[in-house]
Amino acid sequence: MGEFSKVEIDGHLMTVTIDRPEVYNALHPMANQELSDVFDRFHENPELWVAIITGAGDKAFSAGNDLKYSAEYRKKTGTAPEQPRRRQGGLAARFDLDKPVIAAVNGIAMGGGFEIALACDLIIASDQATFALSEPRVGLAAGSGGMQRLSRMIPLKKAMGMLLTGRRVSAEEGFELGFVTEVVPHAELMAGAKKWAADILACSPMSVRATKQVVMRSLDVPTLETAMHNLDYPAFVAMTKSEDTIEGPRAFAEKRKPDWVGR
DSSP 166-182: ---EEHHHHHHHTS-SE
Within-domain flag for 121: yes
Within-domain flag for 225: yes
On whether both 59 and 189 belong to a single domain, the answer is yes
Q: What is the CATH number of the domain that holds 81?
A: 3.90.226.10
On whether both 196 and 241 belong to a single domain, the answer is no
Judging by DSSP bridges, how do beta strands 5-10 and 50-55 pair with one another? unpaired
CA pair distance 209, 239, nearest whole angstrom:
8
Query: Catalytic pick from 8, 34, 44, 115?
Result: 115
Residue that finishes a domain, picked among 158, 183, 201:
201
Within-domain flag for 74: yes
For every residue of 125-171, DSSP letters joined together read EETT-EEE--GGGGT---TTTHHHHHHHHS-HHHHHHHHTT---EEH
**What predicted TM-score, i.e. pTM, was given to this entire model?**
0.95
Task: For residue 44, indicate whether it is catalytic.
Answer: no
Contacts of 249 (CB under 8 A, 6+ apart): none
Within-domain flag for 86: yes
Within-domain flag for 37: yes
Domain count, the chain: 2
Task: For residue 182, indicate whether it is catalytic.
Answer: no
On whether both 109 and 187 belong to a single domain, the answer is yes
For residue 236, the enclosing domain spans 205-253
Query: Catalytic pick from 47, 72, 135, 254?
Result: 135
Within-domain flag for 262: no
pLDDT tens digits, the chain, 263 residues: what are they?
Answer: 799 999 999 999 999 999 999 999 999 999 999 999 999 999 999 999 999 999 999 999 999 999 999 999 999 999 989 899 999 999 999 999 999 999 999 999 999 999 999 999 999 999 999 999 999 999 999 999 999 999 999 999 999 999 999 999 999 999 999 999 999 999 999 999 999 999 999 999 999 999 999 999 999 899 999 999 989 999 999 999 999 999 999 999 999 999 999 99
On whether both 82 and 30 belong to a single domain, the answer is yes
For residue 223, which phi and psi values (nearest 5 degrees)? -120, 150
Contacts of 145 (CB under 8 A, 6+ apart): 87, 92, 93, 115, 118, 119
